[in-house]
Amino acid sequence: VKIMTIFAHPADTITNCGGTLARHADRGDEIVALILTHGGRIHANKYVEEWRKDDPDQAVTAAGLDDIIANKKAELARAADIIGISKVITLDHDDTACTVDEDMVDQIAAHVADFAPDMVIMDYPKNPVVPDPHTTASVMALNGVNRAATFMRNLDGREEFWVKQIFFAGLPVTAVELLSLQGIRNDTYVDITPVVGRKVEAMDQFVSQAYHGLFARKLIESWNGECGRAAGVNYAEAFCRYYNETHAHLPVTEHALNVDPVTRHVEYSRINLRAEYPC
Ligand SMILES: [Zn+2]
């Protein structure tokens, strides 16, 4: 199976679906991460905090945009290695991008057609009013996927191709059933418990934006722990499917068949993250 992730910023792939990707990598799936912007201006902790010191390190305060971007790319490359992402492609657009850009849609479409993924993962486009770069990234990603599906050998010299499923990640809604939220909820969970240590280690690489150490453990304990509660496992990542699914029969998952309702809630506090992965 081939999976492509399309996210706005360097760390988004790891925070949203790093555990899921690690499990797919372990199964032998091929993963390409497409990052739309360079991330040079967001979460600039390392640089902002240095300037606040009485005697700042001049090597840090003198860093220009190229240095900052190079450092972010090195952090992402190390995180991608830990997760098992086969290839990282960065388009290096400005990270405050908040409007749909036709050229960027073309670039996305070309990369989608080149890799021909079975599945694409992107942010849930959750706020169409405030110009949120994650929503803009997903609007462009959806359009890029659709544009790639119009490529023809006659006109573009490319084979016909379409993505089979798109998963939106990171919708902060974790009701365990359909009725409580009028249907808007994450409907697919991946159990990342076996690889949670790799997600911690991958997040530990993002030192320049202070995603390492306690923040990594807090985010995974709280968000992936809450997703785990909803999923009936220790740690999980949550997704919404974009396309409906068609089955030969009504589906029931292996997890649902095997879950024990008595111990279901005990499962999600089994691993003491901070004790097992100290920082
Ligand atoms: Zn982001």
pLDDT, residue 248, reads: 97
Q: pLDDT truncated to tens, each residue of the chain (279 aa)?
A: 999 999 999 999 999 999 999 999 999 999 999 999 998 888 888 888 888 999 998 988 888 999 999 999 999 999 999 999 999 999 999 887 788 999 999 999 999 999 999 999 999 988 777 778 899 999 999 999 999 999 999 999 998 989 999 999 978 777 777 777 776 789 999 999 999 999 999 999 999 999 999 999 999 999 999 999 989 999 999 999 999 999 999 999 999 999 888 888 887 888 999 999 999
The SS3 of residue 181 is: helix
pLDDT, residue 192, reads: 97
End-to-end CA distance of the chain: 35
Cα(267) to centroid(ligand 1), Å: 30
Cα(227) to centroid(ligand 1), Å: 19
Q: Is the dihedral of CA 65, 66, 72, 75 positive or negative?
A: negative
Helix (H) or strand (E) holding 34, with range, is strand 30-37
Cα(170) to centroid(ligand 1), Å: 11
The SS3 of residue 173 is: coil
pLDDT, residue 259, reads: 87
* Pairing outcome for strands 188-191 and 165-169: unpaired
pTM: 0.94
Distance CA 202, CA 212 (A): 9
CA-nearest of 17, 43, 47, 41 to 31 is 17
Cα(60) to centroid(ligand 1), Å: 23
Cα(8) to centroid(ligand 1), Å: 6
pLDDT, residue 174, reads: 76
pLDDT, residue 175, reads: 77
Q: Give residues whose Cβ lies within 5 Å of ion ligand 1.
A: 8-9, 12
Q: Is the dihedral of CA 235, 3, 84, 27 positive or negative?
A: positive
Cα(135) to centroid(ligand 1), Å: 10
Cα(233) to centroid(ligand 1), Å: 26
For residue 39, what are the CA distances in angstroms to 10, 25, 123, 209?
6, 25, 16, 10
Cα(13) to centroid(ligand 1), Å: 9
Give the pair of three-digit tokens for residue 248: 């030969």
Do the beta carbons of residue 10 and residue 36 sit within 8 Å?
no
Distance CA 180, CA 169 (A): 20
Do the beta carbons of residue 183 and residue 137 sit within 8 Å?
no
pLDDT, residue 126, reads: 81
Cα(260) to centroid(ligand 1), Å: 36
Vertex 202 angle, CA 199 and 203, to 5° = 85
For residue 95, what are the CA distances in angstroms to 15, 105, 135?
17, 16, 13
pLDDT, residue 132, reads: 82
Cα(141) to centroid(ligand 1), Å: 14
